[in-house]
Amino acid sequence: MAAAGQQQSMLQLYRHILKAAKHFPSVKKHSIIKTIKDEFRENRALTDPEKVKQCRAVAERGLSDLQAYMGMQQQSGNMSITLKGATG
Encode pLDDT of 27-39 as tens digits. Answer: 899 999 999 999 9
Task: Say how far apart CA 36 and CA 30 lie, in whole Å.
Answer: 10
Q: Above 80 in pLDDT, residue 59?
A: yes
In a domain, 84, yes or no: no
Return the higher-pLDDT residue of 55 and 3: 55
Q: Would you say residue 75 has pLDDT above 60? A: no
The model's pTM is 0.71
Q: Quick check: is 61 in a domain?
A: yes
21 in a structural domain: yes
Domain span holding position 34: 11-69
78, part of any domain: no
The answer as to whether 1 is a domain residue is no
Q: How many domains does the chain fold into? A: 1
Residue 57 scores a pLDDT above 80: yes
Q: Do 63 and 20 form a contact (C-beta atoms < 8 A)?
A: yes
The mean pLDDT of 9-31, rounded to a whole number, is 91
Q: Is residue 55 part of a domain?
A: yes
